[in-house]
Amino acid sequence: MDHFFTIIGGMGTEATETFVHILNEHTDASKDQDYLNYVLVNDAAVPDRTDYILDHSKPNPFVPLKKDIEMYSNMNPDFFVIPCNTAHYFYDDLVKLTTKPILHMPRMTVAAIPKYIKKARKIGLIATRGTLHDGIYDKEILDVGYDLVKPTEEIADETMELIYDDIKEKNYVDADLYHKILDQMVNELGCDVVILGCTELSVAEQRASNHDYPVIDAQTVLADETIKLARETQPKN
């Protein structure tokens, strides 16, 4: 392949599979050759990002991510995609390792808010405790002039249960729990829209989308932006 992009995935694998599914589903294609050229790296050995962010004595995910970016930069992709919100904690250090662009999922997600809801003001965020702690969404949301609404401790615990105990551990989506979390964010905390700031939450949305709560799935935004950039860089077949 002369033109392709590289997906650095495996954080976690089910979430990466959902990203690829969304990517292919949203690609306008009527034959094999209409789909996009990409290399999928499922590096399932990357240590847990939240564990490290909350406790730097834990294994550092940057070490294998650095190797991945350096290794696959040698293949000369047009750009990189990292479908893991929490991994963007390392974004500024990763971009220094390559001349190739790395798409910034949180930044793109916040920029896409007006496409989903025109007069949004209170932006809710549900995510891993790592993402809530490191603030990778906070600056993006506040700089635009929105009000940021983070979950209560109870909602944050429920979200971690959904992400880790259900989806990561059992590949199971507790639809009732997912909908309860959204209900609390919208009806108790008054959010105009809720950002799904973890790719496991994208899995939950894919499997339990039978609700009317206003959400923005960061992984879907990333997939759409990936398609847009790929169409600009890959020759038409």
- State the catalytic residues: 84, 198
Peptide bond into 10 cis (omega under 30): no
Virtual torsion, Cα 64, 67, 71, 77, nearest 10 deg: 70
Q: What does each C-alpha distance from 116 to 169, 181, 185, 195 come to in angstroms?
A: 31, 20, 17, 11
Q: Which two tokens stand for residue 173?
A: 């989506």
Q: Are 185 and 151 in contact (CB under 8 A)?
A: yes
Write down the residue that tokens 């989308």 correspond to: 209
Per the DSSP assignment, residues forming a β-bridge with 7 are 40, 81
**Mapping DSSP to helix (H, G, I), strand (E, B) and coil, where does residue 227 land?**
helix
Q: Are 126 and 159 in contact (CB under 8 A)?
A: yes
Q: Which two tokens stand for residue 55?
A: 């406790």
